[in-house]
Amino acid sequence: MRSRAGWIVAGCVVTGALMACGLDVVGSADVADAEDAAARPAEPEPEPIDDLGGDDAGSAPTFDAALPDETPIDAGPPDAGPCSASITENFAQGLGAWTQYGGVVRGVSGNNAYAQLIAPGVKNRAAGLFWVPPAGVKATAFKASFSYYVATPYRDWYMGDGMTFTWLTSTGGNALGANAVTGAGLGLQPGVAGNAFALDGWQNSSIGDLSEPSFNLLAIDPARGNPGSYAWHLAKKGPYRKNDVYDAWRRIEIVVANGKATARFRFSSNGTATTLFDEITVASADVVALGFTAATGGADAMAFFVDTVSVELTDPTCD
């Protein structure tokens, strides 16, 4: 028996240093094997497919191709002054500038380095990769961009669970990653507060998820329970075609300012931008950590990768 989770990595995806085949994921209760069609849960009526628009710059590269314009970057925050902070990262020099949990590793394919949050086929895993601004620097606004890759498993049912770009306004006094939640929790931990942009690959109907895959803006509120246990959507879009959002490098851009968040999607780094969310109200509080989370459950697991990351605090002040 396989358990429901949230996302599945399959494929196969083959790179110079990695092969992603037949993954399993976390995110919910037990489900019947795919071969036992009669025992599968009834499928809900399909929701209309949302359109991510065309791409005027060609397809994004497959996993084993270097990302466009990728050149070696010295990892670390290239600060322009005492009250400014940013990080530009392609992991060519490792993960040393990042706080990690859940088995995140640096991988290399050809000449391209990347961060692997969760490997193909790994179930019931929660992982995170966060950048913590320099001590004494406070900011409520930022702009961020990154490329992500989600590898899907050998079959297209029961794939889980999902990944986020998260900005935390409180860690609740705990170390990053403490007791992080698998499956529907998307790799976030109890007790933290903030917001997240999520690519959700498993529909948890009890908390109001759309059919998968979907993009979402989430409010993380520790007073309401553990991540993934309550309806946390501020905005949601989807479902999308799987081949639009999975199994190729895609680009996300996020701007948060004046308590509003805007998110855009690109098929490739130079492709046409599609606005996913525009001026959605989010928490306006000092950001204490920014980064990525991912989770799988008991379903066929997807794999999650990030690369070519840029984060800049745009309204910093100093203590």
pLDDT of residue 19 exceeding 80? no
Q: What's the pLDDT at 82?
A: 61
What average pLDDT is seen over the chain? 83
- Please indicate, yes or no, if residue 113 is contained in any of the structural domains: no
> Which residues lie below 8 Å from residue 75, measured CB to CB, with a gap of 6+?
87, 89, 91, 92, 93, 94, 95, 96, 97
CATH number for the domain that contains residue 179? 2.60.120
The domain tally of the chain equals 1
| Exposure b/e, 278-315, CB count within 10 A at least 16 = b | eebebbebebbbbbbbbbbbbbbbbbbbbbbbebbbee
Domain that holds residue 68: 53-100+131-148+163-292+305-318
Q: What angle do CA 292, 114, 266 make, to 5 degrees?
A: 70
What is the per-residue pLDDT across 188-237, written as a single tens digit (0 to 9) for each? 999 999 999 999 999 999 999 999 999 999 999 999 999 999 999 999 99
Residue among 252, 215, 209 at smallest CA distance from 232: 209
Q: What's the pLDDT at 276?
A: 98
pLDDT band at 46 (very low <50, low <70, confident <90, very high): low
pLDDT band at 2 (very low <50, low <70, confident <90, very high): very low
- Please indicate, yes or no, if residue 32 is contained in any of the structural domains: no
- Please indicate, yes or no, if residue 119 is contained in any of the structural domains: no
Q: What's the pLDDT at 232?
A: 98
- Please indicate, yes or no, if residue 117 is contained in any of the structural domains: no
> Per-residue pLDDT averaged across 106-119, rounded?
92
- Please indicate, yes or no, if residue 155 is contained in any of the structural domains: no
- Please indicate, yes or no, if residue 272 is contained in any of the structural domains: yes
Amino acid of residue 49: I
Q: What's the pLDDT at 60?
A: 72
- Please indicate, yes or no, if residue 115 is contained in any of the structural domains: no
- Please indicate, yes or no, if residue 256 is contained in any of the structural domains: yes
C-alpha span between 152 and 22 (Å, rounded): 8
Considering only 137-141, 155-159, 250-254, 299-303, which range has the smallest mean pLDDT?
A: 155-159
